[in-house]
Structure 1
Amino acid sequence: MLNRVVLVGRLTRDPELRYTPNGVAVANFTLAVNRTFSNKQGEREADFINCVVWQKPAENVANYLKKGSLAGVDGRIQTRSYDNNEGRRVFVTEVVAESVQFLEPRGANQGQGNEQFGGYGSMSDNDYGKQQNTNQNRSSGNFNNDPFANDGKPIDISDDDLPF
């Protein structure tokens, strides 16, 4: 059996960060995802999909994404139910994000250009440190440190070093 969801869309509002009684971070947000077809009037419609993310990635989402941010979500569909204050059963379907990709530089959708935490990348728990190092290199001006840049000399690579 397979339960896998991949979405790309824009946040419809700022993420809501909360903590469980045990201190575990959880963030909720809604993605507007355009449909691949147009309606009879030639307009593109969108689906508004509720997402939830847990632990350190939840804190990252709350700190670095806001309304209008472009994000990619990789996760699974989850359904649950609860009784509301009126005693009625409420059913919820949402995407539990296992990773959230930040797909544009921070502030790009406001026309501000790159800020201190600019850049593309993933903010899954495992990649957070790597992304910070990448952004530190960008902010220190190390854009042209390409070890494969053409300096006019042939690159000496033996066939044993190639992965194929």
Structure 2
Amino acid sequence: MNSIVLIGEVLAEPELRYTPDNLAVTSLLLSFPSLRPEEPAYQVRVSSFGELAQKVVDNCRVGDQVTVEGQLHMNLVERDGRKEKLAEITARRIHQLGAGQVLSLTGMSESSTAVRDSGTESLSPKPAPAAAPSNPDEIPF
């Protein structure tokens, strides 16, 4: 399973563009501190798609503190004649710290409901209750 959670600061306004088949794509640059005080902060590109991309453009601004949940990808690019690996995160959810808002994918379910829980608004779909296996031998772990 490929999963990452990262807390950082938005360094640049999210850029919205569309694919040829009209899918919204947003890219933003996130900065997070290094473990060593003498090193500069790290930066990573965060991409989001579809409804989440539009929500990111509408709600995220430079300087916002966010938590990003998603998948980590390593892209191979060529710079100055040499190959370099660059990390990129494809976001599933973006939590705006201090704003109490969660931006997430909503394409997984037909019914998206806003749920308020201790001041946090969740824009993610309400999960369907899981059915318990009738036979204990069918438990998937």
Query: TM-score, length-normalised on structure 2?
Result: 0.66
**Which residue number in structure 1 is paired with residue 34 of structure 2?**
35
Identify which of 70, 78, 81 aligns with 2:73. Answer: 78
**Which residue number in structure 1 is paired with residue 16 of structure 2?**
17
Distance 1:96 1:20 in 2: 16
Distance 2:94 2:5 in 1: 10
Where 2:92 maps in the other structure, the secondary structure is strand
Structure 2 unaligned spans of 5+: 120-141
Provide the aligned C-alpha RMSD in A.
3.1
Flag the structure with higher helix content: 1
**Which residue number in structure 1 is paired with residue 103 of structure 2?**
123
State, as a whole percentage, how many aligned pairs show the same letter.
23
Distance 1:25 1:32, change over 3 A: same
**Which residue number in structure 1 is paired with residue 95 of structure 2?**
101
Over alpha carbons, which structure has the higher Rg?
1
Query: What displacement does 1:5 show?
Result: 1.3
Flag the structure with higher strand content: 2
Where 1:23 maps in the other structure, the secondary structure is coil
Any conservation in 1 of the 2:92–2:105 contact (CA below 8 Å)? no
> 1:43-62 CA distances to partner (integer Å, 9 max, x unpaired)?
x7311111111111111011
Q: Once superposed, which parts of structure 1, at least 4 consecutive aligned residues long, lie more than 4 Å away?
A: 81-84, 88-92
Distance 1:91 1:37, change over 3 A: closer
> 1:99-131 CA distances to partner (integer Å, 9 max, x unpaired)?
1111122xxxxxxxxxxxxxx121103397416
- Aligned pair count reads 113
Any conservation in 1 of the 2:48–2:91 contact (CA below 8 Å)? yes
Where 2:88 maps in the other structure, the secondary structure is strand
Distance 1:21 1:70, change over 3 A: same
Query: What displacement does 1:80 show?
Result: 3.5
Query: What displacement does 1:35 show?
Result: 2.4
